[in-house]
Protein backbone atom coordinates (compact mmCIF):
# COMPACT_ATOMS: atom_id res chain seq x y z
CA UNK A 1 0.00 0.00 0.00
CA UNK A 2 1.41 3.40 -0.98
CA UNK A 3 -1.17 5.66 0.63
CA UNK A 4 0.61 8.67 2.16
CA UNK A 5 -0.21 11.96 3.82
CA UNK A 6 0.34 15.33 2.18
CA UNK A 7 3.23 16.07 4.53
CA UNK A 8 4.94 12.81 3.58
CA UNK A 9 5.12 13.80 -0.09
CA UNK A 10 5.62 17.57 0.25
CA UNK A 11 8.46 17.60 2.77
CA UNK A 12 10.77 15.63 0.42
CA UNK A 13 9.67 17.91 -2.44
CA UNK A 14 10.62 20.97 -0.39
CA UNK A 15 14.05 19.52 0.44
CA UNK A 16 14.83 18.09 -2.98
CA UNK A 17 13.55 20.82 -5.30
CA UNK A 18 10.51 19.44 -7.04
CA UNK A 19 6.72 19.68 -6.77
CA UNK A 20 3.82 17.25 -6.58
CA UNK A 21 0.69 17.60 -8.68
CA UNK A 22 -2.66 17.86 -6.93
CA UNK A 23 -4.94 16.46 -9.63
CA UNK A 24 -8.62 17.36 -9.39
CA UNK A 25 -10.77 14.27 -9.88
CA UNK A 26 -14.38 14.03 -11.03
CA UNK A 27 -14.78 10.27 -11.31
CA UNK A 28 -13.21 6.86 -11.62
CA UNK A 29 -11.94 7.38 -15.17
CA UNK A 30 -9.76 10.35 -14.38
CA UNK A 31 -8.45 9.19 -10.99
CA UNK A 32 -7.45 5.83 -12.51
CA UNK A 33 -5.67 7.59 -15.38
CA UNK A 34 -3.87 9.94 -12.96
CA UNK A 35 -2.43 7.04 -10.98
CA UNK A 36 -1.39 5.24 -14.17
CA UNK A 37 0.40 8.40 -15.35
CA UNK A 38 2.16 8.83 -12.00
CA UNK A 39 3.33 5.22 -12.13
CA UNK A 40 4.65 5.73 -15.67
CA UNK A 41 6.55 8.83 -14.51
CA UNK A 42 7.67 7.28 -11.20
CA UNK A 43 6.42 10.17 -9.08
CA UNK A 44 3.89 10.73 -6.29
CA UNK A 45 0.39 12.00 -7.03
CA UNK A 46 -2.28 13.74 -4.98
CA UNK A 47 -5.84 12.72 -5.85
CA UNK A 48 -8.17 15.58 -4.97
CA UNK A 49 -11.91 15.56 -4.31
CA UNK A 50 -13.22 19.08 -4.75
CA UNK A 51 -16.74 20.47 -4.30
CA UNK A 52 -18.05 19.48 -7.75
CA UNK A 53 -16.72 15.95 -7.31
CA UNK A 54 -18.38 15.69 -3.91
CA UNK A 55 -21.71 16.86 -5.33
CA UNK A 56 -21.62 13.86 -7.67
CA UNK A 57 -20.13 11.17 -5.40
CA UNK A 58 -20.29 10.99 -1.57
CA UNK A 59 -17.05 11.38 0.38
CA UNK A 60 -17.17 7.87 1.90
CA UNK A 61 -17.30 6.41 -1.61
CA UNK A 62 -14.49 8.66 -2.84
CA UNK A 63 -12.34 7.66 0.12
CA UNK A 64 -12.72 4.00 -0.77
CA UNK A 65 -11.93 4.69 -4.43
CA UNK A 66 -8.79 6.66 -3.59
CA UNK A 67 -7.60 4.05 -1.10
CA UNK A 68 -8.26 1.20 -3.53
CA UNK A 69 -6.09 2.89 -6.16
CA UNK A 70 -3.37 3.62 -3.61
CA UNK A 71 -3.26 0.02 -2.43
CA UNK A 72 -2.43 -1.17 -5.93
CA UNK A 73 -0.09 1.67 -6.89
CA UNK A 74 3.69 1.50 -7.10
CA UNK A 75 4.04 5.23 -6.25
CA UNK A 76 2.87 7.30 -3.27
CA UNK A 77 -0.78 8.39 -3.52
CA UNK A 78 -2.38 11.04 -1.30
CA UNK A 79 -6.16 11.03 -0.76
CA UNK A 80 -6.92 14.74 -0.42
CA UNK A 81 -10.04 16.79 0.29
CA UNK A 82 -9.85 19.98 -1.78
CA UNK A 83 -11.72 23.10 -0.64
CA UNK A 84 -13.41 21.80 2.46
CA UNK A 85 -15.55 24.73 3.56
CA UNK A 86 -16.60 23.48 6.99
CA UNK A 87 -15.17 21.48 9.85
CA UNK A 88 -17.85 18.90 9.09
CA UNK A 89 -16.56 18.49 5.50
CA UNK A 90 -13.11 17.80 6.91
CA UNK A 91 -14.36 15.46 9.63
CA UNK A 92 -16.31 13.35 7.14
CA UNK A 93 -13.26 13.15 4.87
CA UNK A 94 -11.05 12.02 7.75
CA UNK A 95 -13.63 9.43 8.77
CA UNK A 96 -13.80 8.29 5.12
CA UNK A 97 -10.10 7.45 4.97
CA UNK A 98 -8.65 10.60 3.41
CA UNK A 99 -5.03 11.25 4.37
CA UNK A 100 -5.15 15.00 3.82
CA UNK A 101 -7.75 17.77 4.12
CA UNK A 102 -7.70 21.32 2.81
CA UNK A 103 -9.80 23.79 4.77
CA UNK A 104 -10.64 26.90 2.76
CA UNK A 105 -11.28 29.81 5.08
CA UNK A 106 -9.84 32.31 2.61
CA UNK A 107 -13.05 34.35 2.34
CA UNK A 108 -13.11 34.88 6.11
CA UNK A 109 -11.39 37.65 8.13
CA UNK A 110 -7.81 36.76 9.06
CA UNK A 111 -8.42 36.01 12.74
CA UNK A 112 -11.40 33.80 11.94
CA UNK A 113 -9.52 31.98 9.18
CA UNK A 114 -6.61 31.32 11.53
CA UNK A 115 -8.79 30.11 14.40
CA UNK A 116 -10.91 27.76 12.27
CA UNK A 117 -7.94 26.41 10.28
CA UNK A 118 -5.96 25.78 13.50
CA UNK A 119 -8.85 23.77 14.96
CA UNK A 120 -9.13 21.66 11.81
CA UNK A 121 -5.37 21.13 11.64
CA UNK A 122 -5.47 19.93 15.26
CA UNK A 123 -8.32 17.53 14.45
CA UNK A 124 -6.51 16.25 11.37
CA UNK A 125 -3.17 15.76 13.11
CA UNK A 126 -4.84 13.85 15.95
CA UNK A 127 -6.06 11.40 13.29
CA UNK A 128 -2.67 11.17 11.55
CA UNK A 129 -3.91 13.27 8.63
CA UNK A 130 -2.30 16.33 6.99
CA UNK A 131 -3.95 19.73 6.70
CA UNK A 132 -3.64 22.43 4.03
CA UNK A 133 -4.92 25.96 4.61
CA UNK A 134 -5.31 29.05 2.43
CA UNK A 135 -4.36 32.66 3.08
CA UNK A 136 -5.33 35.24 0.49
CA UNK A 137 -8.22 34.51 -1.86
CA UNK A 138 -7.73 32.83 -5.25
CA UNK A 139 -10.46 34.02 -7.60
CA UNK A 140 -12.21 32.39 -10.54
CA UNK A 141 -11.88 33.01 -14.26
CA UNK A 142 -14.93 35.07 -15.23
CA UNK A 143 -16.07 35.19 -11.60
CA UNK A 144 -14.86 36.42 -8.21
CA UNK A 145 -11.67 38.44 -8.24
CA UNK A 146 -8.58 37.50 -6.25
CA UNK A 147 -7.16 39.08 -3.10
CA UNK A 148 -3.39 38.62 -3.06
CA UNK A 149 -1.61 37.06 -0.11
CA UNK A 150 0.06 39.49 2.28
CA UNK A 151 3.45 38.04 3.32
CA UNK A 152 3.18 39.13 6.97
CA UNK A 153 -0.32 37.67 7.25
CA UNK A 154 1.01 34.49 5.64
CA UNK A 155 3.75 34.24 8.25
CA UNK A 156 1.21 34.66 11.06
CA UNK A 157 -1.14 32.13 9.44
CA UNK A 158 1.59 29.50 9.06
CA UNK A 159 2.84 30.05 12.62
CA UNK A 160 -0.54 30.03 14.37
CA UNK A 161 -2.41 27.32 12.43
CA UNK A 162 0.23 24.57 12.29
CA UNK A 163 -0.82 23.59 8.77
CA UNK A 164 1.37 21.25 6.71
CA UNK A 165 0.97 23.30 3.52
CA UNK A 166 -0.27 26.78 2.72
CA UNK A 167 -2.14 27.83 -0.43
CA UNK A 168 -1.37 31.39 -1.51
CA UNK A 169 -2.83 33.93 -3.94
CA UNK A 170 -0.08 35.28 -6.19
CA UNK A 171 -1.77 35.90 -9.55
CA UNK A 172 -3.24 32.40 -9.90
CA UNK A 173 -6.91 31.99 -10.90
CA UNK A 174 -9.21 28.96 -10.73
CA UNK A 175 -10.80 27.53 -13.93
CA UNK A 176 -8.48 29.38 -16.32
CA UNK A 177 -8.44 27.66 -19.72
CA UNK A 178 -5.38 29.34 -21.21
CA UNK A 179 -1.84 29.93 -19.96
CA UNK A 180 -1.59 33.60 -20.81
CA UNK A 181 -1.17 34.72 -17.22
CA UNK A 182 1.68 34.05 -14.87
CA UNK A 183 2.45 34.19 -11.20
CA UNK A 184 3.79 37.17 -9.26
CA UNK A 185 7.24 35.86 -8.42
CA UNK A 186 8.16 38.87 -6.29
CA UNK A 187 5.20 38.14 -4.01
CA UNK A 188 6.14 34.44 -3.92
CA UNK A 189 9.69 35.35 -2.80
CA UNK A 190 8.33 37.71 -0.16
CA UNK A 191 6.16 34.91 1.28
CA UNK A 192 9.03 32.43 1.12
CA UNK A 193 11.25 34.80 3.06
CA UNK A 194 8.98 34.67 6.12
CA UNK A 195 7.55 31.11 5.93
CA UNK A 196 9.23 27.73 6.06
CA UNK A 197 6.38 25.44 4.96
CA UNK A 198 5.45 24.02 1.55
CA UNK A 199 3.44 26.46 -0.55
CA UNK A 200 0.55 25.54 -2.83
CA UNK A 201 -0.74 27.05 -6.06
CA UNK A 202 -4.42 26.58 -6.77
CA UNK A 203 -5.55 27.21 -10.35
CA UNK A 204 -2.32 25.75 -11.72
CA UNK A 205 -3.79 25.13 -15.17
CA UNK A 206 -3.44 28.83 -15.93
CA UNK A 207 0.29 28.95 -15.09
CA UNK A 208 2.66 28.76 -18.08
CA UNK A 209 4.50 25.43 -18.15
CA UNK A 210 7.95 27.05 -18.13
CA UNK A 211 7.06 28.94 -14.95
CA UNK A 212 5.63 25.79 -13.34
CA UNK A 213 8.89 24.00 -14.06
CA UNK A 214 11.09 26.82 -12.76
CA UNK A 215 9.12 27.32 -9.56
CA UNK A 216 8.88 23.59 -8.86
CA UNK A 217 12.67 23.38 -8.92
CA UNK A 218 13.58 26.74 -7.44
CA UNK A 219 10.99 27.81 -4.87
CA UNK A 220 9.01 26.63 -1.86
CA UNK A 221 6.00 25.92 -4.08
CA UNK A 222 5.71 22.16 -3.69
CA UNK A 223 2.15 21.54 -4.90
CA UNK A 224 0.35 22.76 -8.01
CA UNK A 225 -3.35 21.99 -8.33
CA UNK A 226 -4.29 21.04 -11.88
CA UNK A 227 -7.93 20.56 -12.87
CA UNK A 228 -9.20 22.49 -15.89
CA UNK A 229 -6.34 21.46 -18.18
CA UNK A 230 -7.00 17.76 -17.64
CA UNK A 231 -10.78 18.14 -17.72
CA UNK A 232 -10.35 19.67 -21.16
CA UNK A 233 -8.20 16.71 -22.26
CA UNK A 234 -10.78 14.24 -20.95
CA UNK A 235 -13.62 16.14 -22.61
CA UNK A 236 -11.85 16.17 -25.98
CA UNK A 237 -11.15 12.41 -25.77
CA UNK A 238 -14.74 11.68 -24.75
CA UNK A 239 -16.17 13.81 -27.56
CA UNK A 240 -13.99 12.04 -30.11
CA UNK A 241 -14.99 8.61 -28.78
CA UNK A 242 -18.70 9.47 -28.92
CA UNK A 243 -18.52 11.01 -32.38
CA UNK A 244 -16.51 8.11 -33.79
CA UNK A 245 -19.60 5.92 -33.74
CA UNK A 246 -22.90 7.76 -33.03
CA UNK A 247 -24.74 4.44 -32.80
CA UNK A 248 -22.78 3.30 -29.75
CA UNK A 249 -24.51 3.60 -26.40
CA UNK A 250 -22.40 1.45 -24.02
CA UNK A 251 -20.70 4.01 -21.84
CA UNK A 252 -18.11 1.56 -20.56
CA UNK A 253 -16.82 1.01 -24.08
CA UNK A 254 -16.88 4.73 -24.79
CA UNK A 255 -15.14 5.70 -21.55
CA UNK A 256 -12.39 3.13 -22.09
CA UNK A 257 -11.26 5.21 -25.05
CA UNK A 258 -10.58 8.23 -22.84
CA UNK A 259 -7.97 6.39 -20.79
CA UNK A 260 -4.85 6.52 -22.95
CA UNK A 261 -5.32 10.15 -24.09
CA UNK A 262 -5.84 11.25 -20.48
CA UNK A 263 -2.81 9.28 -19.27
CA UNK A 264 -0.70 10.96 -21.96
CA UNK A 265 -1.95 14.45 -21.05
CA UNK A 266 -1.35 13.78 -17.35
CA UNK A 267 2.18 12.54 -17.96
CA UNK A 268 2.96 15.83 -19.70
CA UNK A 269 1.67 17.74 -16.67
CA UNK A 270 3.66 15.62 -14.21
CA UNK A 271 6.93 15.94 -16.13
CA UNK A 272 7.10 19.69 -15.47
CA UNK A 273 7.13 19.17 -11.71
CA UNK A 274 9.95 16.64 -11.49
CA UNK A 275 13.40 17.59 -10.23
CA UNK A 276 16.56 17.74 -12.31
**Which residues are annotated as catalytic?**
82
Q: According to the annotation, is 160 in a ligand binding site?
A: no
Cα dihedral: 251, 256, 258, 262 (round 10): 140
Alpha helices in the chain (DSSP H): 6-16, 28-41, 51-56, 59-72, 87-95, 110-126, 151-161, 185-192, 209-218, 228-244, 251-256, 259-271
φ/ψ (deg, to 5) at 223: -145, 125
Q: According to the annotation, is 83 in a ligand binding site?
A: yes
**Phi-psi label, residue 197: left if phi above 0, alpha if psi -120 to 50, beta otherwise:** beta
Q: How far apart (Å, rounded) are the C-alpha atoms in residues 185 and 166?
A: 16
Rg (CA), the chain: 18
Q: According to the annotation, is 134 in a ligand binding site?
A: yes
Q: How far apart (Å, rounded) are the C-alpha atoms in residues 149 and 249?
A: 48
Which residue numbers belong to the known binding site for Zn(2+)? Answer: 83, 104, 134, 174, 202
Amino acid sequence: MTLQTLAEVLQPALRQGHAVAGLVTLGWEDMRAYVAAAEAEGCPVILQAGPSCREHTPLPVLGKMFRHLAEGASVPVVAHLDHGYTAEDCRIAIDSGFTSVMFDGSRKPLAENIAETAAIAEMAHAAGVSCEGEIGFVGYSGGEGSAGTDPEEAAQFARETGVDAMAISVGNVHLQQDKQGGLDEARIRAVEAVCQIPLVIHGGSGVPVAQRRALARGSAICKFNIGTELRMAFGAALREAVNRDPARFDRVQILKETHEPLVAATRTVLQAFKGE
